[in-house]
Chain A
Amino acid sequence: MEENSNMTAERSLEIITEQIEKSRRAVSKTTGRSLYISGICIMCTAVLVVLINIITMSQGMVGIGHLLWFALPVVIWLLSRKYIKDREHAPVSLVSSMVAKTWITFGFFGIGFFIIALIWGWIGARLLPISEYATSQIRVAPVIVLLMGMAITMTGHILRQRWLVVFGIVAGLLCFAWEHFHVGEAIVMNLVSVESPFALTAAVISSSLPCLTIFIFALVGLLLPGMMLKKQSV
């Protein structure tokens, strides 16, 4: 593009439209890749957590795999640095920073809540009688899916994707109710009696259900929008 001051009004508008569109595509590409990487990381972590929980369950360590969630932000950060090479020159836009801030906020609240629940669980197990401890335990999964639903809804609003907004609200509320009222566990435990030889398998499945919910949320809320944005930017 050379210096030219004798432009027509049409040419001026053409330049403005063209450059805004180029900028939008560059931003979509980077945001899409970030969402895509985060989605894959969360999905892989959910699978790994289930596998570790199954392996360690026989050794008497219940739910040890959940500690893997703490490593997630570091893994996402490292992979983003490695795979988003053109981030070096990509512009920072309001859209990309809003999406990033939405998910960073979700990360802070999610991990913060997880830590509080762990500390409370640890204190409760030592101080409270077993009957009180069972009822006062903080369940992490319902709150995490509710927060994730909110983050997905906000991402949908920022990216102007109506389906994402609707999915975030509906899935967030439904999965919150599903997790809070132990619907999954109740179904699994009703299908398999305690004396059944499949009782251990049923227990493993029911303890893995929150990870399955998080897997689905990451697929629809992060991976699919990420792929969509990447496709739009081509």
Chain B
Amino acid sequence: MMFPTLDPLLHSELRLAVMSLLVSAEEAEFPYIKEQTGATAGNLSVQVDKLSAAGYIEVEKTFKGKKPCTICRITPTGLKAFEDYVASLKSYLKV
């Protein structure tokens, strides 16, 4: 039996955690994602940029009062990639 290949962009702990958080939320702020994943700001920023460059998430830089605020949202492409990734995992695990 041929197993489907896992999306290399999603097959990484931190990127997968970010996508899993965003899949159940309409949008989330950068500090919230950082808090939930326990990642460092620098590392998270790099991974968010990679997901954004692939079109899996969209990043909006805005202001909340005078404070800068980064909001992340999953895109339809990202959602499709996530669904495919979960389907592939299921076939590996025969769930």
**Chain A interface mostly:** helix
Distance between A123 CB and nearest chain B CB, rounded to angstroms: 44
B35 nearest in chain A by CB position: A89
Instruction: Check A1–B26 contact: CB distance below 8 A.
Output: no
Instruction: Check B25–A92 contact: CB distance below 8 A.
Output: yes
Instruction: Check A2–B28 contact: CB distance below 8 A.
Output: no
Instruction: Check A4–B13 contact: CB distance below 8 A.
Output: yes
The one of B6, B14, B25, B89 in contact with A27, judged by C-beta atoms closer than 8 angstroms, is: B25
A24 nearest in chain B by CB position: B24
Would you list which residues of chain B between 1 and 24 have a CB under 8 Å from chain A? Answer: 6, 8, 11-14, 16-17, 20-21, 23-24
Task: Give the total of A residues in contact with B, Cβ under 8 Å.
Answer: 29
Instruction: Check A20–B23 contact: CB distance below 8 A.
Output: yes
| CB-CB under 8 A for A94 and B20, given A3-B47, A12-B89 | no
B12 nearest in chain A by CB position: A5
The one of A7, A10, A12, A22 in contact with B21, judged by C-beta atoms closer than 8 angstroms, is: A22
A105 contacts the other chain (CB 8 A): no
Instruction: Check B26–A4 contact: CB distance below 8 A.
Output: no
B54 contacts the other chain (CB 8 A): no
The contact sample of 28 A-B pairs, CB cut-off 8 A, is: A1-B14, A1-B37, A1-B38, A2-B39, A3-B12, A3-B13, A3-B43, A4-B13, A5-B8, A7-B11, A7-B12, A7-B13, A12-B6, A12-B16, A18-B17, A19-B17, A19-B36, A19-B37, A23-B24, A23-B36, A24-B24, A27-B25, A91-B21, A91-B25, A92-B26, A92-B27, A92-B28, A93-B25
Shortest beta-carbon contacts, A-B, top 8 = A91-B25, A19-B20, A91-B28, A89-B32, A9-B92, A23-B24, A4-B13, A92-B26
